[in-house]
Each structure stands twice: as structure tokens, then as C-alpha cells.
A and B are shown apart, each in its own frame.
Chain A
Amino acid sequence: DAGVTQSPTHLIKTRGQQVTLRCSPKSGHDTVSWYQQALGQGPQFIFQYYEEEERQRGNFPDRFSGHQFPNYSSELNVNALLLGDSALYLCASSFAWRGNTGELFFGEGSRLTVL
């Protein structure tokens, strides 16, 4: 049973560039949430996708956007990168039909460094 997979695992970008991160949810899951985790901090909610729509959004600027595909996989796009965007980006999948049980399955993350 494949777990949550994310790519790439590490990447380095320069300020002003754009980045796309990808996530495939755990088999059978239909909901994808994205989190940003800065060093020494807890995961901060960016947004959640369900049925190819953004269902809830956290306190992140419009530079952060996403997409969910019919196969439930998802992308996170960040435009005009800032130094402060350097973080671990975590994708978490879950079942929507169970409501928000709080049981999230995380991928290993994509570590973004902005120089």
C-alpha cells in the first residue's frame, strides 16, 4: 500500500523564482492538505483540496496556489519566492467521507531553500 509520496525531496531556488511541488496521496485517500513547516516550528496550514477544489485556506498570500487532479494528486505552486519561504513543505492526505477526523498521513516533505 503506497503511502503519501512527494517530489522533489530537496530543491534550491533563488529569490523571485517560482516552484512547483507535487504530492500523491495515500491509496484510497481523496483529500490533500499542504503545510509549511519552518525550522523549529509546527506545521502551518496552507490549504486543502477536495474534489479538485480548494476547500479551506490558511493565512498565506496569493503567491501560494495549488491544484488537485482527477486522480487526487496535487501540486503546490509558489511564485515570486522570498527568503522566508525556505521551509519543509508537507503534504498530508485523508479521507473526506469521514469528515475531518484529524488523522493525517504525511509525506516525507519537500525541503525548499531560497537563496
Chain B
Amino acid sequence: QKEVEQNSGPLSVPEGAIASLNCTYSDRGSQSFFWYRQYSGKSPELIMFIYSNGDKEDGRFTAQLNKASQYVSLLIRDSQPSDSATYLCAVIGGFKTIFGAGTRLFVKA
């Protein structure tokens, strides 16, 4: 079982819609969860982190964490074509950060 699993997509949504990206993790002891965005040909950049169960909102982005279900999600409201990228879910494992394979998101204008 992979440590972090994501649906590779692609996920295609129309402009203005809500994009929902999902991630599951295997280590029940994981405490910290992250979403990185990676544009094509670029390096990943951190966009959200969440430590506690529930929702965390930052602008158009909402991270959701359910530790009992070992599930993390990222919602992007009012999706824009500029949101088209690969979204990487990550968890901390000791000194390293463990990434999922990423979900490709396409926002159609």
C-alpha cells in the first residue's frame, strides 16, 4: 500500500465550478498534511497545510481533514483556468515529506 494515494485524474471542471481533490494516507499516526501545486514544467509550491480535523479555509481554497478515515481533501471554489496544474498531497514521515503521485486538474474556460 502506498503511503499517500491520490486519483491521478485528469479532473476536468468548468470555469467557476468547485474542484474537489482527494487523498488518502496509510500511517494512522500522521499529524500534518499538505497540498502542493505544481504547474507543468515547474517545481511544487506549498498552497495549504492542515493539522487538525475539520476544515481550513484560505481564500478560494479549503483543506479538509478526517483523521479517522485517513482522508484529506482540497476544494477549490470558483475554479479559474490559472488553477490548471497538478496538485500533490503530502504528509510528514520523520524528517522527510512524502508525496502522492498528484492529481492533474484542468479548468475549462
Contact = CB atoms under 8 A, between A and B. Distances in A.
B94 A100 contact: yes
Interface in B1-52: 4, 6, 8, 32-34, 42-46, 49
B60 interface: no
A103 interface: yes
Contact of A56 (B42, B43, B44, B96): B96
Nearest to A45: B96
B32 A58 contact: no
Contacts of A102: 32-34, 46, 49, 90-92, 97
A106 B94 contact: no
B95 A106 contact: no
A100 B99 contact: no
Most buried by A among B42, B43, B91: B43
A9 B96 CA distance: 24
A55 B96 CA distance: 9
B95 A100 contact: yes
A58 B88 contact: no
Q: Do most interface residues of chain B lie in helix, strand or loop, or is the interface mixed?
A: strand
Nearest to A57: B96
B92 A42 contact: no
Contacts of B33: 102
Contacts of B99: 35, 42-44
A33 interface: yes
Nearest to A94: B97
Given A42-B99, A43-B88, A102-B97, 7 more contacts: A40-B8, A43-B44, A43-B99, A55-B95, A56-B95, A102-B34, A106-B43
Interface of B: 4, 6, 8, 32-34, 42-46, 49, 88, 90-92, 94-102
Interface of A: 33, 35, 40-45, 48, 50, 55-56, 58, 90, 92, 100-104, 106-109
